[in-house]
Structure 1
Amino acid sequence: MKEQLIGYTTGVFDMFHIGHLNILKNAKSRCDHLIVGVSTDELVKQYKNKKPIIPFEERIEIVKAIKYVDEVVPQISMDKRQAWENLHYNVLFHGSDWKGSAMYDKVIQDLEEVGVKVVFLPHTHGVSSTLLADVLYKQQAEEFH
């Protein structure tokens, strides 16, 4: 019997948009079981120096409802090797916008040691939660002036 291919991907998933859906759909098409780590509010504050617009409890419920997702876990650390030790996934999926970054070069190296493949999926250009937040803030500012 063939071993089940377990995939893992992570994200903040703030203001869920088509780019998020594309990553999850693409990742699920490449594995048997997809685990998604949703960044906690505390982790986002730690590495992005900002608070998500949508609270963690709501973001995790949104991701749980996506048909391509088999399991959802809180992401409490950026350490993908530590996540592997808990989840034992075979492949890590991430958006191609991080390919070649120093952070992901280290992730690749750390995961190769335990036989995990890192696959970069196409980034959906022209949409991001940061861009959406900026547009909303601008619209709010214009309405109040």
Structure 2
Amino acid sequence: MVIGYTTGVFDLFHIGHLNLLKNAKGMCDKLVVGVTVDELMQYKGKEAMIPFEDRIEIVRACRYVDAAVPQYDMDKLSACKKLGATVLFVGDDWYETDKWKTYEEEFEKAGIRIVYFPYTRGISSTKITSTLKQMRGWTSSISEGSSQPIFPEAAEKTEATRAEEEKPEEHQE
């Protein structure tokens, strides 16, 4: 049985996460996913928008995931050994970096293969978070009780739709 392992924060779960998990599951019999705990994120100077308990439940609910476990540290080699994983799946943004060249040697000595998957273009949790922050900043600048629409184009469509809906129906007899 081939056991695969991958890790991630999975904050604001998106299609890129799903692609990673689907592709990984296609290359192993059992897929175990390490979900980064909030404390490890804080240690790295980041903060999750979604709490760990919710993120791990979302990952567990994915049909490609056989087990989801907390990721308390960055030691993927120890995690693979502990879980009996013979394959580690990671994003290709790590491919051929000096850090991962060293990791590859260590993993190879342990009999663990590293498989790099391409990132899904155009989507990332960072991009989603940035967009949400921009929207929050934009909407918070509008005063309470203002009649100014947040999304003018949507408001115009809404007004046009409302006018269309309010037309009396013609009855044919």
* Structure with greater Cα Rg: 2
Q: Do 2:80 and 2:88's aligned partners in 1 also have CA atoms closer than 8 Å? A: no
Give the equivalent residue in structure 2 for 1:34: 31
Q: Do 1:80 and 1:107's aligned partners in 2 also have CA atoms closer than 8 Å? A: no
- Mapped to 2, the partners of 1:15 and 1:30 lie a distance apart of 25
Q: Do 2:4 and 2:30's aligned partners in 1 also have CA atoms closer than 8 Å? A: yes
- Mapped to 1, the partners of 2:105 and 2:38 lie a distance apart of 27
Moved more, 50-59 or 77-86: 77-86
Q: Equivalent pairs: percent with the same residue?
A: 48
* TM-score (normalised: structure 2): 0.79
- Mapped to 2, the partners of 1:106 and 1:27 lie a distance apart of 22
Equivalent position amino acid for 2:28 in 1: C
Runs of 4+ aligned structure 1 residues displaced above 6 Å come to: none
Give the Å deviation of 1:86.
Answer: 1.2
Structure 2 residue matching 1:89: 3-state secondary structure = coil
Aligned length: 141
- Mapped to 2, the partners of 1:5 and 1:85 lie a distance apart of 13
Give the Å deviation of 1:101.
Answer: 2.1
Give the Å deviation of 1:102.
Answer: 2.7
Task: Give the CA RMSD over aligned residues.
Answer: 0.9
- 1:115-130 paired onto structure 2 within 5 Å: 115-130=111-126
- Mapped to 1, the partners of 2:94 and 2:87 lie a distance apart of 16
Equivalent position amino acid for 1:51 in 2: E
Structure 1 residue matching 2:138: 3-state secondary structure = helix
Confirm whether residue 6 of structure 1 aligns to residue 3 of structure 2: yes
Which is bigger in relative contact order (C-alpha 8 A, separation at least 6)? 1
Equivalent position amino acid for 2:27 in 1: R
Q: Do 1:8 and 1:37's aligned partners in 2 also have CA atoms closer than 8 Å? A: yes
* TM-score (normalised: structure 1): 0.94
